[in-house]
Copies of this chain bind each other. A is one copy, B any other.
Amino acid sequence: MKKKGSLLVVLAFLLGYTASAQTWIWYPGDYEIWLSNQMQNRRTDRGVFFPVFWKVDSHYNLMDFHKVYTLSAPETIHIYVEGQYNVKLDGKPIDGTPKTLLVPAGKHKINIKVFNQASVPTVFVKGKTIVSDASWLTTFEDKEWIDETGKTSDVSATKWLSAGSWNFNSPTALPSAFKLPTKPLEATQVTTNSGSRLYDFGKETFGFIKLHGLQGKGRVTIYYGESKEEALDKNEAVTIDVLDISNTTKKDSTMVLSKAFRYVQIVTEGNVSYSKASALYEYADIEDKGSFTCNDAAINKIYDVAKYTLHLSTREFFIDGIKRDRWVWSGDAYQSYLMNYYLMNDNATVTRTMYALRGKDPVTGHINTIMDYTFYWFLSIYDYYLFTGDKKFIEQNYDKMKSLMDYVMARRNKNGLLEWMPGDWIFIDWAAGLSKKGEVSFEQLLFARSLETMALCADIVKDETHVGSYKKLAVEMRTKLFELYWNKDKQALVHSRIDGVQTQNVTRYANMFSIFFNYFSEAQKQAVKKSVLLNDSIQKITTPYMRFYELESLCAMGEQNYVLDQMKAYWGGMLDLGATSFWEEYNPEKKGEEHYSMYGRKFGKSLCHAWGASPIYLLGKYYLGVQPTAPGFAKYTVTPALGGLQWMEGKVPTPNGVIALKVSTTSIQIQSPTGEGVLRIRSKTVPTGALATPKENNYYEIVIEKNKSYSIGYAAL
């Protein structure tokens, strides 16, 4: 008997019937969409509800979940459901709304059908071997009907997707009740004035303000400030709370909404008193897996503040900034994903954000209404696959990729190019006077790259008919990009065409992306470096958002020394101004309070913006130099570049653990838990400590096997 038992276990394992941990499950993407609705509707401006301006979708409210089990012994399962539901065993409904069910031995199908309008239909099942997990299948239309003779319809065509889940692993951890954790936070300094107090929490933070021992009758107004100036400006502070108090006894009062602040000014009117104010720091509890340290304290500080900036902006989703917009923006999130791969590697937050951004069909506008943001969504999917190897996500989302691409393709003009149409927003970057007229080169470039992504994904899901068509379209778009926008005299891609004629305007955007997309020939790259990237007469970039790509393009061309100086000047410049997190925009030419203004408002700028955190990405990808070259780090390269540093050490996360390395001008220690790596080093001498294959240009390649420690001697060039 024992032997038979073991055999069954082995069989079960082979068939994928492994007893994994039970978790709450739902239709993939639905919880993510629902949660993003909750989150994005928490934005306020001067106390006024400030929701998004694009179409917001809902979860499917009627869902069927099922799984077929083969049991060696009967077992009782416990069923927990968010919503109104029924349970069927082998197609037969069970009386009432059962909380337990005895499933007999043998092969049996369990169906749970759930309706929930207010929150997402979710299911949690726990038995000895039967547990709800991603192996359950789910659909929003089972099309199962019964004819007049009692026969059930043929439902073989019903499309079932693997259930979605996160980490709600106990029956009481209801997905609809999810909240980010908090912990108490005290101010570092309090300044009392007549009728008001100013609390300084020491650095940019996020949470709920709590008033202790609040008593009396009157009004309390809280002015939040990312800067002291903002908190002290009653008319211009972007976020406020107004409380009308009538407490006969002392009560503690915590604000309903969490907000971004370093400072809060609390003003009382009437006969109101409170003993003190503190905060509940609200955060996503995500640990860092990646790291970076080096001999340069300024760079270390930049890396730390970048980390803090990214953590503050990583909440239920990757959001843009914590003061505003507190929304999920595709272009912003795209950078957070990339930074995340080098820091937290929390990929649930990546997929959650991608699901939230895509929403549902029909597509009635670009993602966030922005043409470029639609394209970043496509790009992010392939990146995600490369960094994680998670093919299933692509399979589950391929139909949505296609329908979004259909939307884009239907908007091409008579030249097959994309230009502004009513309802579109062409963003590119915040840059004074940037033209969005006509056919902008940058949009065509992202379109080409998105088509390449579609071709790659069509191949992954084996959509044979479309692999070819997407490839063909991608090649056409790339060809057009160079035919129509490359200007030989300027040795650059021009910014746009208007009425079929090239404009004289050269901007950095399409040029820098063409470098790291490898769209340029080597000669073009070198030309563009001079004619655009290092050319001060080309309009400067003043957002960390586009500096991300500008510096990436320079790194991709081996300009790590130059970029290190740029980092120190630009991000260091913000630190010199007292920044405790990195900003939405930084223009070194501005002075004093000018730095805080944007959107025509004195304190309109966000002083903690995820896109400010790009040093995390640049240092991981282009200094430590670790990059996956096959999905999920099955293959990867390590091309360390000190960029003028004496030494650096750090970790880069992979799905199977971190690749750790320490690099000086004479030695490299490296260890990897995964895949097959190639260490590429430039050395005056033949590297020691491992077999080094010489390549052109003083480069040597050393194969890094997994779970082996390497200590390489070399002489940095």
Interface residues of A (CB under 8 A from B): 34, 37-38, 41, 45-56, 58-62, 84-86, 93-97, 113, 115, 117-119, 140-151, 153-154, 156-158, 242, 361-362, 364-365, 369, 403, 421-423, 425, 430, 598-601, 604
Q: Are B117 and A422 in contact (CB under 8 A)?
A: no
Whether A51 touches B62, Cβ cut-off 8 Å, given contacts A146-B599, A157-B423, A601-B150, is yes
Q: Are B117 and A598 in contact (CB under 8 A)?
A: no
Q: Are A598 and B148 in contact (CB under 8 A)?
A: yes
- CB pairs A–B below 8 angstroms (11 shown): A48-B86, A49-B97, A53-B144, A53-B145, A54-B141, A55-B60, A56-B115, A58-B60, A117-B118, A145-B425, A156-B422
A38 and B47 CA atoms in complex are apart in Å by: 34
Q: Are A423 and B143 in contact (CB under 8 A)?
A: yes
Q: Are B147 and A599 in contact (CB under 8 A)?
A: yes
- A141 neighbours in B (Cβ, 8 Å): 53-55, 364-365, 369
A430 and B151 CA atoms in complex are apart in Å by: 13
Q: Are B54 and A600 in contact (CB under 8 A)?
A: no
Most chain B CB inside 10 Å of its own CB: which residue of A34, A86, A117, A369: A117
A86 to B, closest residue via Cβ: B49
- A600 neighbours in B (Cβ, 8 Å): 146, 149-151
Q: Are B113 and A49 in contact (CB under 8 A)?
A: yes
Q: Are A369 and B599 in contact (CB under 8 A)?
A: no
Most chain B CB inside 10 Å of its own CB: which residue of A52, A95, A423, A599: A423
How many Å from the CB of A235 to the closest CB on chain B?
12
A457 and B46 CA atoms in complex are apart in Å by: 47
- A142 neighbours in B (Cβ, 8 Å): 53
A97 and B242 CA atoms in complex are apart in Å by: 12
A605 to B, closest residue via Cβ: B148
Most chain B CB inside 10 Å of its own CB: which residue of A95, A115, A147, A361: A115
How many Å from the CB of A612 to the closest CB on chain B?
16
A53 and B55 CA atoms in complex are apart in Å by: 27
A48 and B84 CA atoms in complex are apart in Å by: 10
Whether A96 touches B47, Cβ cut-off 8 Å, given contacts A53-B144, A55-B60, is yes
**Pick the contact of A85 from B49, B147, B601 — CB < 8 Å?**
B49
The A contact surface, by secondary structure, is loop
A150 and B93 CA atoms in complex are apart in Å by: 59
**Pick the contact of A145 from B60, B84, B143, B369 — CB < 8 Å?**
B369
Q: Are B54 and A143 in contact (CB under 8 A)?
A: yes
A45 to B, closest residue via Cβ: B93
Q: Are A96 and B242 in contact (CB under 8 A)?
A: yes
How many Å from the CB of A574 to the closest CB on chain B?
18
A45-B93, A48-B95, A58-B59 known; 6 new pairs, CB 8 Å cut-off, are A37-B115, A37-B117, A46-B93, A58-B58, A58-B61, A151-B600
How many Å from the CB of A653 to the closest CB on chain B?
35
Whether A599 touches B149, Cβ cut-off 8 Å, given contacts A34-B117, A53-B144, A84-B41, is yes
- A144 neighbours in B (Cβ, 8 Å): 53
Most chain B CB inside 10 Å of its own CB: which residue of A59, A62, A242: A62
- A93 neighbours in B (Cβ, 8 Å): 45-46, 48, 50
Whether A154 touches B47, Cβ cut-off 8 Å, given contacts A58-B61, A146-B599, is no
- A47 neighbours in B (Cβ, 8 Å): 95-96
How many Å from the CB of A96 to the closest CB on chain B?
5
Q: Are A369 and B51 in contact (CB under 8 A)?
A: no
* 5 closest cross-chain pairs (CB), A and B: A150-B600, A157-B422, A118-B118, A58-B58, A56-B62
- A56 neighbours in B (Cβ, 8 Å): 60-62, 115, 140
Q: Are A365 and B143 in contact (CB under 8 A)?
A: yes
- A41 neighbours in B (Cβ, 8 Å): 62, 84, 115
- A119 neighbours in B (Cβ, 8 Å): 117
Whether A37 touches B49, Cβ cut-off 8 Å, given contacts A157-B423, A601-B150, is no
- A48 neighbours in B (Cβ, 8 Å): 86, 93-97
Q: Are B158 and A423 in contact (CB under 8 A)?
A: yes
Q: Are B599 and A148 in contact (CB under 8 A)?
A: yes
**Pick the contact of A51 from B46, B115, B242 — CB < 8 Å?**
B115
A142 and B369 CA atoms in complex are apart in Å by: 10
A142 and B55 CA atoms in complex are apart in Å by: 8
- A151 neighbours in B (Cβ, 8 Å): 600
- A423 neighbours in B (Cβ, 8 Å): 143, 157-158
A56 to B, closest residue via Cβ: B62
A115 and B37 CA atoms in complex are apart in Å by: 9
**Pick the contact of A62 from B52, B62, B140, B365 — CB < 8 Å?**
B52
